[in-house]
A and B are shown apart, each in its own frame.
Chain A
Amino acid sequence: MSQNVVIVGASIGGLRTAEALRNCGYTNHITVIGEEVHAPYNRPPLSKEVLAKEVSHGAVAFPLRPHIDDVTWHLGDAAVSVDLDAQFVTTASGKTFPFDGLVIASGLRPRVLDLPNGNVSGRHTVRTLDDAIALRAELAPGVKVVVAGAGFIGCELAATARQLGCEVTNVAIDSFPMVRPLGDQFAAELQRRHESHGVNFRLKHGIKDVTGSGSISGVILDDDEFLEATVLVEAISSHCNVEWLANTTIDITNGVLADSALRAITTEGNPVQGVHVVGDLARFANPLFDNVPRRIEHWNIPIETGKRVGAVLTAYLAGDENFDALASQAFTPLPSFWSDQYRMKIQGFGMPGLADSYELVDGDISDDLVMAYYRNDELIGVVGIGMTGVMVKYRKQLLGD
């Protein structure tokens, strides 16, 4: 019997799912549908190392392992709708793809500022390879750059632009850069370090508009301060690419709700058999922390969710008698993230953003350090600068080992 798995999304989540399906013994057809024309590539370096040097597909492409040689890549054509009853996906070009198993891996796209005079060139986001190529072309010594948003990506972009010799101002509504996951003390220190590298901050401020006709000449803040700029990089937050699921019964409020088998859940609370979610769209409860379903936008989540879906979906399609036992197993990936800013290697595990207290447990706040994060006095996350070796024992503790 010939079966089809259709994976919507050709980034790391889609790739790792395809690999996992093959690793788990699924031998039938796999088609990966991707909106971008590029074969899967590694996004994180696009705001750091690769942006600082030369941006090309070759610099970030994932190697395609031989055991997925027979996967069909349908690239440059986005999925626009799905019929769950008749089991087929339709793409923008009008092609249809029947499936027995469906994997939702369509990811996120950057949210952009809504600005009255926003229709000017010089505005950038960085999600895709093409985005990074376009931004890189504008980053030259002396260029005035405003980065909107002071999360990890905004701060990485600010650091990279600064290293390329640009004059950089970071505008964000937050009180400190990266404050939401890291807390005031750590975040204030990171602000100090960015400032020592010459980044200016306008915190607790939003952007009201841009000036310029044709191309951007400056940015107007909510207190009417004017910042001259020819480049505006927007790294404020993301939209979930779930519009193609809108005509289904799947719960798409904030990503795609999923159970421990990463099956999509309907608005009535029932799993959709054979339809799974991977990557930063998946909103699932992680028993390592609590029973609240959350989306996690961290590096290892597409990898971990892809492996989980590969195993569960293979069992489902094979009619495996152990499917129910496998599907109900707890899914407890430990979120893992890192950020490279100047020569700082920031690395974290767990969910520090959920903490109600934190403590410097190693190192020095002005040097390499390890900060532990607690909720109800229980370790819930750890973030360090350097000190990779020290992080090991906290990671173990988070895993309950």
Chain B
Amino acid sequence: MININVDMEKCQHYGQCVYEAPDIFSLNADDKLEFVATADDSRRHDVQSAVDVCPMQAISIVD
């Protein structure tokens, strides 16, 4: 399993991560980011892509 952390102080809800891993990251009805905090190892690649594209660099994978 991987643990996913989003620094909500940094997050500006741009939603770039949603395009990379839509099963992990989503925007709610108010366009605010929501995410699941753990994922299977098989999702690591897409979550890493989400980490990479975040304009605010707010996402991290905590091993």
Q: Is the CB of A299 within 8 A of B55?
A: yes
Q: Is the CB of A386 within 8 A of B31?
A: yes
Q: Decide: A345 near B12, CB < 8 A? Known: A386-B31, A388-B27, A395-B19.
A: yes
Give min CB distance, B29 to chain A, whole Å: 8
Indicate which residue in B13, B53, B57 contacts A345 across the interface (CB closer than 8 Å).
B13
Q: Is the CB of A338 within 8 A of B60?
A: no
Tell yes or no: A387 within 8 A of B by CB: yes
Tell yes or no: A62 within 8 A of B by CB: yes
Q: Is the CB of A303 within 8 A of B52?
A: yes
* Chain B residues, Cβ within 8 Å of A300: 16, 53
Complex Cα distance A198/B13, Å?
A: 27
A side interface size, CB within 8 A: 23
Which of chain B's residues has its CB closest to A60's CB? B57
Complex Cα distance A338/B19, Å?
A: 15
Q: Is the CB of A345 within 8 A of B27?
A: no
Which B2-23 residues have a C-beta within 8 angstroms of A? 12-16, 18-19
Complex Cα distance A228/B49, Å?
A: 47
* Chain B residues, Cβ within 8 Å of A62: 57
Tell yes or no: A237 within 8 A of B by CB: no
* Chain A residues, Cβ within 8 Å of B16: 300, 336
Q: Is the CB of B60 within 8 A of A389?
A: no
Which of chain A's residues has its CB closest to B28's CB? A389
Complex Cα distance A388/B25, Å?
A: 13
Complex Cα distance A208/B11, Å?
A: 41
Q: Is the CB of A45 within 8 A of B52?
A: no
Cβ contacts A381-394/B at 8 Å (1 or 0 each): 00000111101100
Q: Is the CB of B56 within 8 A of A45?
A: yes
Complex Cα distance A387/B56, Å?
A: 18
Q: Is the CB of A44 within 8 A of B12?
A: no
Q: Decide: A338 near B55, CB < 8 A? Known: A63-B60, A388-B15.
A: yes
* Chain A residues, Cβ within 8 Å of B29: 389
Complex Cα distance A49/B16, Å?
A: 18
**20 additional contacts (CB under 8 A) given A303-B53, A336-B53:** A16-B52, A49-B12, A60-B57, A62-B57, A63-B57, A63-B60, A299-B55, A338-B14, A340-B12, A345-B12, A345-B13, A347-B14, A387-B31, A388-B14, A388-B15, A388-B27, A388-B31, A389-B27, A392-B18, A395-B19
- B interface residues, Cβ below 8 angstroms from A: 12-16, 18-19, 27, 29, 31, 52-53, 55-57, 60
> 26 A-B pairs, CB-CB below 8 angstroms?
A16-B52, A42-B57, A49-B12, A49-B56, A60-B57, A62-B57, A63-B57, A63-B60, A300-B16, A336-B16, A336-B53, A338-B55, A340-B12, A345-B14, A347-B14, A387-B31, A388-B13, A388-B14, A388-B15, A389-B15, A389-B27, A389-B29, A389-B31, A391-B15, A392-B15, A392-B18
- A interface residues, Cβ below 8 angstroms from B: 16, 42, 44-45, 49, 60, 62-63, 299-300, 303, 336, 338, 340, 345, 347, 386-389, 391-392, 395
